[in-house]
């Protein structure tokens, strides 16, 4: 992983803590004088943005409202195309390889590291926004400033992968609160299954919800690679994780091997499962539904962090979102000005609010926004980027980590081992060989 200077980060965000008690309008006043950035869009500039489709309707509504404001202010026409997470990645790769397509792409995880030389240097925008709003969290820097110097993209945030559960079901199974360790979690999952309300988590090639497989591996000490980028997935720690996973899988509702990102949402809202991992979208859908039964469910829904395993520390894996400007764009100033505009508090705060806390902030200062406390059920999602461990842990992010993640190596290994289609040892050995194709010695 990219080495991170925590002292510099704390120095950059110290003013935010001191400003916490100030009214919102005055929150960023001291930082405004720290730096200015003048980006004048090119004459007759037009932009095309490719982004992932919404899981919360308010996300796209607020985003498009901000796009309209940008056009009204600058005169730059902006076209926005929405695609599923699984579709954005290949389309972005085609654009990078052919040198034609969208000017700006909002993608996931460390996709930017698949083609860093095809991306516009946005260091000026990143430094301006970071200094103004309290500092970027370490994960965002690891993903998008891989050399520790140049920014190849702007962090957008993350869809937090939290545990989503029915409080009444847990209580009926004898649990007053969500377990904080993996032993207690397994006991709870067995208990809710015995109550006829099992849990379930995606084991298909799910871009977001499949990230729980990273948590499982890391919680028991397994890793894809070590700090020297040596593939070490075939290990005692991974074996322990897969053995635990087999017991966990036995509590799942049938069918999770084919689940993609939408499936657990549907299963939960249909009342088929009482526990899953997801962003806040399940709760938002239930809360905003006109169906009285779903509104009643919303009151029963609670969120919690993933339990801690034998390693003794949180091992959170969340779906990171990036914003990339393609180097082939004819309008680099307009594109950079668009990202700057969208990240300013007036727009970004409105977007986070419109998305009902679906996207966690990548900037320390925005953790103070009211959206995180106006509903206590939003709060667990606030620190997803702050606590995020990139999928390429504990190595340096780059082409290899991006490729391994895009190839779903860890997800496939977990699915094969815990379902019994392969022994844990066979699954680890296959994953080791697949990963070594990316991390060439």
Condensed to tens digits (0 to 9), the pLDDT of residues 86-122 reads 789 899 999 999 999 999 999 999 899 999 999 999 9
Q: Is pLDDT of 198 > 60?
A: yes
Across 5-26, average pLDDT: 34
Contacts of residue 409, defined as CB under 8 A and 6 or more positions apart, other chains included, come to 224, 233, 431, 434, 435
Q: What is the pLDDT at residue 86?
A: 77
Question: Locate tokens 């070594």: which residue?
Answer: 436
* Whole-number Å distance between alpha carbons of 2 and 47: 32
| Tokens encoding 202 | 């995606």
More confident residue, 319 or 27: 319
From 338, 266, 391, 298, select the one nearest 102 (Cα to Cα): 338
From 425, 428, 388, 412, select the one nearest 213 (Cα to Cα): 412
Q: Is pLDDT of 53 > 90?
A: no
* Whole-number Å distance between alpha carbons of 106 and 87: 12
Reported as half-sphere exposure (CB side, CA atoms, 13 A), residue 117 has a value of 2
Across 197-211, average pLDDT: 96
Q: What is the pLDDT at residue 429?
A: 98
Q: Is pLDDT of 9 > 60?
A: no
Question: Is the model's pTM score more than 0.95?
Answer: no
Q: How confident is the model at residue 379 (pLDDT cuts 50, 70, 90)?
A: very high
**What does the chain come to in residues?**
441
Across 178-202, average pLDDT: 98
* Whole-number Å distance between alpha carbons of 242 and 217: 7
Q: What is the pLDDT at residue 85?
A: 77
| Tokens encoding 392 | 């390429």
Q: How confident is the model at residue 440 (pLDDT cuts 50, 70, 90)?
A: confident
Q: Is pLDDT of 383 > 90?
A: yes
More confident residue, 30 or 122: 122
More confident residue, 21 or 70: 70
Q: What is the pLDDT at residue 145?
A: 95
Task: Write the pLDDT tens digit of every residue in 290-313.
Answer: 999 999 999 999 999 999 999 999
Q: Is pLDDT of 29 > 50?
A: no
Question: Locate tokens 């989503």: which residue?
Answer: 164
Q: What is the pLDDT at residue 441?
A: 54
- By percentage, how much of the chain surpasses pLDDT 70? 92
* Long-range pairs of 424-431 with CB within 8 A, sequence gap ≥ 24: 424/238, 424/239, 424/242, 424/243, 424/246, 425/239, 427/242, 428/233, 428/234, 428/235, 428/238, 428/239, 428/242, 429/234, 431/233, 431/234
Domains of the chain: 6-159+318-381 (3.40.190.10), 162-316+407-438 (3.40.190.10)
| Tokens encoding 325 | 């400007």
* Whole-number Å distance between alpha carbons of 58 and 38: 31
């Amino acid at each position: 992983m990219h080495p991170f200077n925590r002292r510099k980060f704390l120095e950059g965000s110290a003013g935010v803590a001191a400003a916490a008690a100030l009214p919102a309008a005055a929150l960023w006043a001291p930082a405004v004088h720290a730096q200015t950035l003048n980006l004048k869009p090119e004459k007759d500039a037009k932009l095309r943005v490719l982004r992932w489709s919404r899981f919360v309707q308010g996300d796209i509504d607020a985003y498009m409202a901000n796009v309209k404001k940008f056009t009204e202010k600058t005169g730059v026409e902006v076209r926005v195309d929405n695609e599923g997470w699984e579709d954005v990645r290949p389309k972005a790769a085609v654009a990078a390889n052919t040198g034609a397509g969208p000017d700006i792409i909002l993608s996931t995880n460390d996709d930017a590291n698949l083609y860093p030389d095809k991306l516009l240097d946005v260091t000026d925008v990143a430094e301006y926004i970071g200094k103004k709003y309290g500092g970027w969290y370490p994960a965002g820097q690891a993903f998008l400033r891989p050399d520790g110097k140049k920014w190849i993209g702007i962090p957008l945030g993350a869809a937090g992968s939290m545990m989503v559960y029915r409080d009444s079901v847990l209580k009926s199974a004898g649990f007053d609160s969500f377990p904080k360790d993996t032993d207690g979690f397994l006991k709870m999952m067995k208990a809710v299954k015995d109550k006829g309300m099992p849990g379930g988590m995606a084991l298909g090639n799910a871009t977001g919800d499949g990230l729980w497989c990273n948590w499982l591996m890391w919680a028991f000490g397994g890793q894809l690679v070590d700090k020297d980028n040596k593939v070490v997935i075939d290990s005692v720690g991974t074996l322990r994780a897969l053995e635990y996973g087999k017991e966990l899988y036995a509590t799942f509702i049938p069918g999770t091997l084919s689940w993609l990102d939408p499936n657990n949402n549907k299963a939960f809202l249909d009342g088929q499962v009482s526990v899953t991992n997801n962003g806040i979208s399940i709760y938002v859908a239930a809360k905003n539904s006109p169906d009285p039964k779903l509104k009643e469910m919303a009151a029963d829904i609670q969120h919690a962090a993933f339990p801690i395993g034998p390693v003794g520390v949180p091992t959170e894996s969340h779906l990171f979102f990036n914003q990339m400007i393609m180097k082939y764009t004819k309008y680099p100033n307009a594109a950079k000005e668009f990202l700057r505009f969208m990240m300013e508090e007036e727009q970004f705060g409105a977007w986070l609010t419109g998305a009902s806390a679906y996207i966690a902030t990548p900037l320390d200062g925005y953790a103070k926004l009211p959206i995180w406390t106006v509903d206590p059920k939003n709060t667990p999602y606030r620190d997803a980027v702050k606590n995020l461990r990139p999928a390429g842990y504990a190595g340096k992010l780059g082409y290899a980590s991006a490729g391994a993640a895009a190839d779903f190596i860890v997800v496939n290994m977990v699915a094969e081992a815990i379902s019994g289609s392969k022994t844990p040892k066979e699954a680890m050995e296959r994953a080791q060989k697949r990963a070594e194709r990316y991390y060439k010695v």
